[in-house]
Structure 1
């Protein structure tokens, strides 16, 4: 992984910089992705838009009140760049600051470093050590899943202080399972059935990533 945010010889203006975390807020980078705690409602809305299509929801089963149902709205959200980084004024309701709750899972929105387009998101539940993530439709099939899950392992091991992080997937979700394997995750024992947020019960296989040392960024 590449942990610097050097792009075309300089740091992209206005974006969080890896290594400069703050209480409750994290930022890290891979070769092609920048991941950071959402700064405003636009970041959150774009993260949800990235996984609201039928292909993603087949595997994720997000609660209905968190799904962006209209395809046009999803496309519009994903065409934005993080607030202030493309010169456009963000609508007031999307410009409102986002403040993570103390008991919320860690969520990091991710953008492509090449053009700053929204690319997906990563979630980590520090109490259970379970991780999940997704990519926007235009970012799939390009090897970015492995980068996303490597970032998830780094978030767990070097930001959240976890020696073990786990991820579940359906047996038929071969794209996610291949990405987990490329990211260094190995098969693990776990419940054979899993209940998705929308109430569906699915078959499950589990993967884990371990480190002998773990640390927190703050």
Structure 2
């Protein structure tokens, strides 16, 4: 994958920089997005808030205890900037450091590089090599989905050493399927039915991306 050069001046100095990955933590960038392993609880709950509206949950089916149900709270969370990167003091509970568990799916929160607003997240089941992602309501319909999934491929192929990455979607989820195609995914065979985290069973189509040059970040 070829990315636009990352310009440090476009990102607040407190945010992590691409190329500065650490053990269990990753950072990468696209033209308009910065993606990184959550540093605080705010990063995590903002990522969940970005996917908790009815439109997103129609496709994602997140477990009820991971959904932010109140629309006002979701808007408030998405109005914050990553902790320490704007002038406001966030509640102490949300400022607590976040440490990912080794067996959890790999989560990267993403922000817009232009204004540092929370934009969505990537989730990679690294043992199965399956990728998912979502965008906040205000970030949809702008071509960011392709960037998000291209970042997911970079994460999987060049940070984690995965040769093959797969992604599933419902046949009617044309926005996600187009974004996967723009990212370079090709149609693949897979189970025709899929069980979402909330227990719903849906139709599924599958996509995959392979590389001959897998590697790992430092």
Q: Please confirm whether the aligned pair reaches a TM-score higher than 0.5, indicating the same fold.
A: yes
The TM tier, using the shorter chain, reads over 0.9
Question: Offset of 1:12 from its aligned partner?
Answer: 2.3
> CA deviation digits over 1:154-196, x for unaligned, max 9?
0000011101100000000000000000100000010000000
Q: Which residue of 1 aligns with 2:120?
A: 120
Question: Offset of 1:5 from its aligned partner?
Answer: 3.4
Q: Which residue of 1 aligns with 2:18?
A: 18
Check if 1:134 corresponds to 2:134. Answer: yes
Q: Which runs of 5+ in 2 are unaligned?
A: none
Instruction: Summarize the alignment of residues 6-155 of structure 1 with structure 2, pairs less than 5 Å apart.
Output: 6=7, 9=9, 11-155=11-155
Q: Distance in 2 between matches of 1:70 and 1:126?
A: 31
- Between the two proteins, the alignment pairs up a number of residues equal to 217
Question: Offset of 1:213 from its aligned partner?
Answer: 1.4
Q: Which residue of 2 aligns with 1:172?
A: 172
Compared CA separation, residues 10 and 110, structure 1 to 2 (3 A): closer
Instruction: Summarize the alignment of residues 165-204 of structure 1 with structure 2, pairs less than 5 Å apart.
Output: 165-204=165-204
CA contact (8 A) 1:5 1:12 kept: no
SS at match of 1:38: coil
Q: Which runs of 5+ in 1 are unaligned?
A: none
Q: Distance in 2 between matches of 1:181 and 1:208?
A: 10
SS at match of 1:22: coil
Q: Distance in 1 between matches of 2:61 and 2:198?
A: 5
SS at match of 2:178: helix
Question: Offset of 1:11 from its aligned partner?
Answer: 4.6
CA contact (8 A) 1:5 1:11 kept: no
Q: Distance in 1 between matches of 2:177 and 2:210?
A: 17
TM-score (norm 2): 0.97
CA contact (8 A) 1:3 1:28 kept: no
SS at match of 1:124: strand
SS at match of 2:42: helix
Runs of 4+ in structure 1 deviating by more than 4 angstroms, as ranges, are none
> CA deviation digits over 1:112-168, x for unaligned, max 9?
000000000000111100000000000000000000000000000001110110000
CA contact (8 A) 2:164 2:210 kept: yes
Q: Distance in 2 between matches of 1:117 and 1:11?
A: 11
CA contact (8 A) 2:11 2:113 kept: no
Q: Distance in 2 between matches of 1:165 and 1:108?
A: 16
Compared CA separation, residues 11 and 119, structure 1 to 2 (3 A): closer
